[in-house]
Amino acid sequence: MNQADNIIVMGKSGAGKQPRVDVLIRRFGLKQLSTGDIFRTYLGLFNELGDESDLNSFYDSASDNFIPDEAIKNKLNISHWEDADAIVLGLKAKYYVNQGLFVPDHITNALFESAFQALGFRGAVLDGFPRTIDQARFLVEMIEREGIKIDAILLIENEDELIIARTVGRRICRTCGELYHVEHRPPPMPGNCEFESPKCKIIQRSDDTVRSLEARLQEFQTKTRPAIEYLQEQKIPFYSAPGNLPTYAPEAVQASVFEVMQISG
Ligand SMILES: [Zn+2]
């Protein structure tokens, strides 16, 4: 493999996807397309409007669906805007996120397609999508419809027990985002970040507690495994790489990816 248009990276939460994503980005000049970032971007587009309307007013409970997109645009006075469709998607995502509801696949699919299309369906490492079998089916349908090339799927394998042990020790600087680990990379001073801006403070993210991690690992088994099995039946080259390595030196991480995907350095 010497060049790539798009690569999908999958794996459990905490399996070690990010360092492998970074390797692929550097090697092939790709851009990370993560569902988390997509949600933040589209929610941000809607938030920038500063619209104070009750979000329920865009939802028709009688038909259990949003009011038509044109009606949403009219209410927001954005009908003539170039990014009106993207703002409507942001509104729909916010409707669920605000209520702490699970975002339905058809909304996630629409957000993903919009962001992928903005890249011309080319040059991305797909991260966090597809995560369910419906999303996987939607992606395969989109690949065929748009003539998109997916060069490879890389699954990062890791054991639940190892992920839990590693993740619960994780600490992050809430200001600069620097990552630490109580065993593998302790902060220079307890509670203090090495970049020590006055506001730097080391915390454990609420996502990194055992309970929330176990819920995500469970969801991976019930929702993402079937998506992986479905994708393995497609004609996309499928590779898996170990998430757990004897050493995490950058060269070792890179070699572990290059080796399984037969990428030359
Ligand atoms: Zn910091």
Query: Do 193 and 62 have their domain in common?
Result: no
Residue 16 region by backbone torsions, left for phi larger than 0, else alpha for psi between -120 and 50, else beta: left
112 is a domain residue: yes
Query: Do 108 and 174 have their domain in common?
Result: no
Alpha-carbon torsion, ordered 173, 37, 19, 6, to 10 deg: -170
Query: Do 195 and 68 have their domain in common?
Result: no
Instruction: Tell me the CATH number at 29.
Output: 3.40.50.300
CA of 84 to the centre of ligand 1 (A): 37
Dig out the tokens for 31 from the structure: 């851009």
CA of 171 to the centre of ligand 1 (A): 11
Query: Do 40 and 123 have their domain in common?
Result: yes
CA of 213 to the centre of ligand 1 (A): 24
Q: Is the pLDDT higher at 200 or at 128?
A: 128
**What pLDDT band is residue 57 in, cutting at 50, 70 and 90?**
very high
Q: What is the pLDDT of residue 247?
A: 87
pLDDT 10s digits, 128-166: 999 999 999 999 999 999 999 999 999 999 999 999 988
C-alpha to C-alpha distance for 94 and 70, rounded to whole angstroms? 18
CA of 51 to the centre of ligand 1 (A): 33
CA of 147 to the centre of ligand 1 (A): 44
Neighbours of 263 (CB within 10 A): 19
The domain in which residue 179 lies consists of 169-208
Average pLDDT, the chain: 94
Burial class (CB within 10 angstroms; exposed 0-12, middle 13-18, buried 19+) of 80: exposed
38 is a domain residue: yes
Amino acid identity for residue 1 in this structure = M
Query: Do 221 and 183 have their domain in common?
Result: no
CA of 45 to the centre of ligand 1 (A): 28
118 is a domain residue: yes
Helix (H) or strand (E) holding 225, with range, is helix 225-232
C-alpha to C-alpha distance for 167 and 169, rounded to whole angstroms? 5
Query: Do 132 and 234 have their domain in common?
Result: yes
Q: What is the pLDDT of residue 152?
A: 98
Dig out the tokens for 190 from the structure: 């307890």
Residue 71, CB-side half-sphere exposure with 13 Å CA sphere: 8
**With 80 as the cut, is the pLDDT of residue 255 above it?**
yes
Least reliable range by pLDDT among 90-104, 197-211, 234-248, 250-264: 197-211
Q: Is the pLDDT higher at 136 or at 14?
A: 136
Q: What is the pLDDT of residue 25?
A: 98
78 is a domain residue: yes
The SS3 of residue 201 is: coil
Query: Do 201 and 219 have their domain in common?
Result: no
CA of 180 to the centre of ligand 1 (A): 10
Query: Do 145 and 178 have their domain in common?
Result: no
CA of 19 to the centre of ligand 1 (A): 20
141 is a domain residue: yes
CA of 30 to the centre of ligand 1 (A): 28
Mean pLDDT computed over 118-131: 98
CA of 187 to the centre of ligand 1 (A): 10
CA of 235 to the centre of ligand 1 (A): 44
- Give per-residue burial for 207-230: e unless 16+ CB within 10 Å, then b: ebeeeebeeebeebeebbeebbeb
**With 80 as the cut, is the pLDDT of residue 81 above it?**
yes
Query: Do 19 and 135 have their domain in common?
Result: yes
Question: Total domain count for the chain?
Answer: 2
1 is a domain residue: no
CA of 237 to the centre of ligand 1 (A): 40
Query: Do 110 and 179 have their domain in common?
Result: no
Mean pLDDT computed over 66-78: 97
**With 90 as the cut, is the pLDDT of residue 188 above it?**
no
Query: Do 119 and 199 have their domain in common?
Result: no
